[in-house]
Amino acid sequence: MTVDRRRLLAALGAGGAAVLAGAHQAAALGGAVRRAGAGDAPSVDAWPTRARLLAHTPPNWRALRARLGSRLVLPADPGYAVYRLGFNELNDGQRPAAIARCTSPADVQACLDVARGHGIPIAARSGGHSYLGYCIPNGGLVIDLRLMAQVHVRPDGTALVGAGARLIEVYAALANAGRLLPAGSCPTVGVSGLTLGGGIGVLTRKYGLTCDRLAAAEVVTADAHLRTASPGSEPDLYWALRGGGGGNFGVVTQFTFKTAPAPGLTVFSLGFPKGSSAALIGAWQEWVAKAPFELWASCQVAGGNPSTPRLVGCYVGGETEANRLLDRLIAAAGVKPSTRSVQPKSYLDAMKYMAGCSNDTLAQCHPVSEGGKLPRESFVAVSRMLGPHPLDAGRVADLMHGRTGVSLLLDSLGGAVSQLRPDATAFPHRTSLASAQIYASATPGTKKAVTRTVDEIRDGLARLGATGAYVNYIDAGLPDWGQAYYGANLGRLKSVARHYDPDRVFAFRQNVAFA
């Protein structure tokens, strides 16, 4: 599908009638671009020569404003201080030149027509949860999709989901229609970034990754064309969007998902005594690998002296069967849990439980971003992928010894994920047992030391055999990132990126084209 390009350009005043950008906007842009090489922001040096050569003038923000009105937010505008923020407070130093709050694919096309070819970074933002703030490029244009958050469930069970929707909005709308989509746990994560990188969650083993449920996507590519990616249309793009990582191939404006009927679920949370990490990790690896697809469980270790493990998860089915499976794990680990909670829940209540907002109304669980109140965190996190063979549990536990304030989250895969071949979609980790995320709170003052600690654990896991990494836990310090995120799919992904974005309009430091 292609929107009428001529009408769009005419509306923007492009092709000879361009209006010069306001002086304060040009100054703001110049300053921001100069700052872009510093700190954690993607460096302008990462931009390909061709894009830099095109950078004669700043983008014509006035033309974009003529289209978007107050939905184009520049540094001097009210709201900029809030709209420029991402979820991770450690990225607060990043100052985009402009934020375009789009309400339609045509707005996205207009953004590209105005900003492309001026040597500034351009990135889409949906939920804003990129660990490294790649959605808010310093000195660049944020194509903000948060106003495009509609969810429509059709009678056949497919769901049309706007790219700006957060998970809790998707869950609430689907639950209303008696349907489910397997996706992540945090209510404010955007469906876009999550899906494009894979999408791991509590229903993954039974229903697959979120990207496995993608039937089609509407995408504005770097040439500002609106395309449909599906099995029958742009099949390479469709393949790449299912696990190839956000920001690499274009701006998705809408997803079509295959949903499933929502059954009753059982959620559980078990605490185990300090010092039992090795026993639990060892038993959990064997147990979860052989468990029915209906069971999903995350083995989580809080670092300390000694470390403390716990288990949280979800079973697609009733309490009795869930308890039976848990008893098996407890017997295998040989450790009695200190706390045990097993509760039947509806789909929506289970999603709220996993999101940590069980006792909240949907409105409280829902992100509030308009009035300056943003639920945010300040953290460093990195990852590896476990399996297919179990790791030496004692040595994994040793990695967490003395690491107070650091968590290791082992989220099970396998099940339906393993039913597809590693090259069936761009997500390559089909034989992995679990993703391993190492997470710690950090402030700007502690960031360096905390990063060193989580990196040590990540590298320790790699020495034990966990070599891959999950692109959605994007990691600035991962030495082998292209191979780790994409494995044998890397080459094909690079050619898809080159085909759809030959001039690297969507360049950022870990764009797959640079791997």
Ligand X SMILES: Cc1cc2nc3c(=O)[nH]c(=O)nc-3n(C[C@H](O)[C@H](O)[C@H](O)COP(=O)(O)OP(=O)(O)OC[C@H]3O[C@@H](n4cnc5c(N)ncnc54)[C@H](O)[C@@H]3O)c2cc1C
State the Cα–Cα distance between residues 388 and 385, nearest whole angstrom: 9
Closest CB to ligand X among 188 and 453?
Answer: 188
- Contact residue for ligand X among 124, 149, 270, 314 (CB under 6 A): 124
Determine the size of the site formed for ligand X (CB under 6 A): 33
- Contact residue for ligand X among 222, 472, 485, 515 (CB under 6 A): 472
Part of the chain binding ligand X (CB under 6 A), chosen from 246-254, 275-283, 312-320, 448-456 = 246-254
- In sequence order, which residues have a C-beta less than 8 Å from that of residue 513 and are 6 or more positions away? 248, 494, 497, 498, 501, 504, 507
Q: Does 252 bind ligand X (CB under 6 A)?
A: yes
Closest CB to ligand X among 278 and 485?
Answer: 485
- Contact residue for ligand X among 128, 244, 282, 306 (CB under 6 A): 128
Grouping H, G, I as helix, E, B as strand and the rest as coil, residue 148 is: coil
CA 397 and chain centroid, separation: 27
Please state the closest distance from residue 320 (CB atom) to ligand X, in A: 27
CA 221 and chain centroid, separation: 19
Please state the closest distance from residue 185 (CB atom) to ligand X, in A: 4
State the Cα–Cα distance between residues 476 and 382, nearest whole angstrom: 9
Q: Does 197 bind ligand X (CB under 6 A)?
A: yes
State the Cα–Cα distance between residues 414 and 204, nearest whole angstrom: 8
Where are the alpha helices (H) located in 356-446, listed in sequence order? 362-365, 393-400
Residue 134 tokens, joined: 């790649």
Q: Does 130 bind ligand X (CB under 6 A)?
A: yes
Part of the chain binding ligand X (CB under 6 A), chosen from 118-126, 168-176, 368-376, 489-497 = 118-126
Q: Does 417 bind ligand X (CB under 6 A)?
A: no
Closest CB to ligand X among 87 and 239?
Answer: 87
**What values do phi and psi take at 347, rounded to 5?**
-55, -50
26: exposed, middle or buried (C-beta count within 10 Å: 0-12, 13-18, 19+)?
Answer: middle
Closest CB to ligand X among 283 and 507?
Answer: 507
Give the orientation angle of helix 393-400 with respect to helix 447-464, to 10 degrees.
Answer: 170
Part of the chain binding ligand X (CB under 6 A), chosen from 10-18, 94-102, 125-133, 298-306 = 125-133
- Contact residue for ligand X among 96, 182, 193, 243 (CB under 6 A): 193
State the Cα–Cα distance between residues 458 and 176, nearest whole angstrom: 40
User: Could you check whether the bond before residue 306 is cis, i.e. omega within 30 degrees of 0?
Assistant: yes
Part of the chain binding ligand X (CB under 6 A), chosen from 16-24, 243-251, 364-372, 446-454 = 243-251
Instruction: List interacting residues with ligand X (CB under 6 A).
Output: 87, 123-131, 134-135, 145, 163, 184-186, 189-190, 192-194, 196-201, 246-247, 251-252, 472
